[in-house]
Structure 1
Amino acid sequence: MPVIESTYKAPLLFRNYHISTIYASALRKVPRPPFKRERLELEDGDFMDIDWSSAPGKNTRVVIILHGLEGSSNRPYVMGMTNHFNKNGWDVAAVNLRGCSGEMNRLYRSYNAGASEDLEQVIAHILDGNIYSELALTGFSLGGNLMLKYLGEDRKLPKEIKGAVAISAPCDLYKSLLKLQEPQNFIYSRRFVNKLKKQLLLREQKFPGQISTEEIASCRSLYSIDDLYTGKAHGFEGARDYYEKSSALNFIPNIKIPTLLLNATNDAFLSRNSSPEGLAQNNRHFYLETPKHGGHVGFLQNKEETYAEERAVEFINKHAR
């Protein structure tokens, strides 16, 4: 029954969900890792950019970090996690999902919460060099859902994968979307909608005839964007089909490597069933930790590292031995 009692105690100020979430996303200052960019050419003719940061010395351990919706390797949570893994002897491959590295990808499709085939190609590429004998995974929010889906799908995982940590992951995409659209989250949902619409307008210019300016302008919610673009561009019938087939809840029961899901109870982006105690109780490989505070990708402390960064390294080191 790997449901873990959390030891995270949020400082008084960061017990407020909004302060924790906004500070971690917009105000937290994190030293930029010495990233070196590699372009990975994908099987379908597209590309993803991987930003590498190496620990001192020669290492045989690497962790892949996946960002969240409209994120990149430049987000404070990715850089903070990179720095902490580097300090603990792990090389880091911070993945920029399709279209998220500052340059639009080549195809009309981009990234989504269920694009596990892209993660599969990243892992195969990294292990092809025969440098690393141990590989771990860390995913935030949308990237956490993607990672959990990959781990629970019907595939033979590389023996090098030793452990994984998902942080603030919306394991039920549709119900978490409904939470994000509640009035108290207006500032966040509106920001996502505006950023995604700007990206779609750029995509309309590059792929005329696939999508129209009028269709984009009519979108007023994340659901409408997913119904217009995300679902159909990635082979789904629409938004609901995309959510139902990509949600990690469908795949967690089949996870067979040590995996931790760290979701704060006060994360108003997530539906209640995104922290599935029943699945943790019935899968000895799936660990669930739900501290009372933390916000969305927050988990701030009175020191440089967040609790999520410390916890990810601790969990993965324990299971990589």
Structure 2
Amino acid sequence: MPIVKSHYNPPLIFKNGHFSTIHSGLYRNVSGVYQKRERITLSDQDFLDLDWSYAAYHKNVSKLIIILHGLEGNAQRSYIKGTAKIFNRNGYDAIGINLRSCSGEPNRLYRAYNAGASEDLREVIEYILTNYPQYSHIVLKGFSMGGNLLLKYLGEPIRVPKEVKAAIAISVPCQLEGSLKQMGRVENYMYNRMFVKSLREKLVDKHSAFPSLIKLEDIKNANSMLRIDNLYTSKAHGYKDAADYYKKCSSKQFIPNIKIPTLLISAKNDSFLSKSCYPIEEAEQNENFYFEMPKYGGHVGFFNRGDVYYTEKRAFDFATLA
């Protein structure tokens, strides 16, 4: 589809991309969403924790939204709860997936999560369809790295179940190597160090559980995202190295094959995204893929007055029309 015109125009201070990113990530608080956790066992005997919240004042609910967080996030993040809240208000149950190692408890295997682990999303959807057959209308939403995973899933050769009606992705690094290089810029130093610190702490946990597979000295030397991906992310998930991981898991190459209505929203002032992360040509050539590029919003920002952020309202409206 042609590029979707955006009408997002936030208050002046939120036109600063960094302010929008930081405010949403650190200071936003979403109340009124009550989550109930369910642990499911995957085919490789690892586990995922699903955090459910339920439609308010609705019975016989047949609609469900499944939400994926970003790098080092979890299902308690404000952007997950904000999405769940608007959908719960309007007759949807919601699941926030905590990706492997992100629910507050280390996962069982040496592997964890990555930007291309679409097999885990596929297993969750299969689990829902088998164990909760009342859900005949499923919407998917992914943020940042989780959005990359989602778009990859939608464009892979394996058929998407007919119950999945629409998808929305926010602030997605569709070209992983380009985003990695962008994150290395001086303006992103604070974010980059935060991610590296968090990931290295998890690698120390991996060393404690699997001392023969990863060494503390190597973790100490893994002082960048690229080095972490070369040391662990790629090797633990079956890729040759970081470059191989980025090449095979970047979602941009899968967008032409998406066959259900899908909306991507990425701000032009998102400091996490390189020019290669904006799939303009792919959107123009796929009638199922809608791409909106607001001038403002930062990375998973998109502040709006009130308790519903811009991309949350857009996601619900898109799901309703799909």
TM-score interval, smaller chain: over 0.9
Q: Tell me the distance in 1 between the aligned counterparts of 2:49 and 2:25.
A: 22
Are 1:50 and 2:50 an aligned pair?
Answer: yes
Letter in 2 for 1:203: K
1:35 is displaced (CA, Å) by 0.6
* Root mean square deviation, CA, Å: 0.8
Are 1:214 and 2:210 an aligned pair?
Answer: no
Structure 1 length-normalised TM: 0.98
Specify the alignment match of 2:27 in structure 1: 27
Secondary structure of 1:125's counterpart equals helix
Q: Tell me the distance in 2 between the aligned counterparts of 1:97 and 1:42.
A: 12
1:155 is displaced (CA, Å) by 1.0
Deviation sequence 1:229-286 (CA, Å, 0-9, x none): 0000000001110000000011000000000000000001011121211111100000
Specify the alignment match of 1:93 in structure 2: 95
1:32 is displaced (CA, Å) by 5.3
Deviation sequence 1:128-173 (CA, Å, 0-9, x none): 1211110010000000000000000001111001000000010000
Specify the alignment match of 2:14 in structure 1: 14
Specify the alignment match of 1:308 in structure 2: 311
Which of 107, 110, 113 is the matching residue for 1:108? 110
**Structure 1 segments of 4 or more deviating over 6 A?**
none
1:34 is displaced (CA, Å) by 1.1
Deviation sequence 1:12-43 (CA, Å, 0-9, x none): 01001111000000011111511110001000
Secondary structure of 1:37's counterpart equals strand
Q: Tell me the distance in 2 between the aligned counterparts of 1:32 and 1:233.
A: 38
Are 1:260 and 2:263 an aligned pair?
Answer: yes
Which of 149, 159, 163 is the matching residue for 1:160? 163
Which of 120, 126, 129 is the matching residue for 2:128? 126
Which of 158, 180, 183 is the matching residue for 2:183? 180
Secondary structure of 2:111's counterpart equals coil
1:70 is displaced (CA, Å) by 0.2
Letter in 1 for 2:51: D
Specify the alignment match of 2:229 in structure 1: 226
Q: Tell me the distance in 1 between the aligned counterparts of 2:80 and 2:32.
A: 10
Which of 59, 62, 71 is the matching residue for 1:60? 62
Q: Tell me the distance in 2 between the aligned counterparts of 1:166 and 1:60.
A: 22
1:220 is displaced (CA, Å) by 1.6
Q: Tell me the distance in 2 between the aligned counterparts of 1:2 and 1:93.
A: 31
Letter in 1 for 2:115: A
Are 1:81 and 2:88 an aligned pair?
Answer: no
Percent identity over the alignment?
A: 51
Q: Tell me the distance in 1 between the aligned counterparts of 2:225 and 2:140.
A: 27
Q: Tell me the distance in 2 between the aligned counterparts of 1:276 and 1:202.
A: 37
Q: Tell me the distance in 2 between the aligned counterparts of 1:121 and 1:317.
A: 25
1:2 is displaced (CA, Å) by 3.1
Q: How many residues align?
A: 319
1:223 is displaced (CA, Å) by 0.6
Letter in 1 for 2:129: L
Q: Tell me the distance in 1 between the aligned counterparts of 2:261 and 2:70.
A: 22
Gaps of 5+ in 1: none
Letter in 2 for 1:67: H
Secondary structure of 2:311's counterpart equals helix
Q: Tell me the distance in 1 between the aligned counterparts of 2:64 and 2:163.
A: 10
Q: Tell me the distance in 2 between the aligned counterparts of 1:120 and 1:18.
A: 34
Structure 2 length-normalised TM: 0.98
Letter in 2 for 1:26: L
Letter in 1 for 2:83: M
Letter in 1 for 2:164: I
Q: Tell me the distance in 2 between the aligned counterparts of 1:160 and 1:145.
A: 21
Secondary structure of 1:165's counterpart equals strand
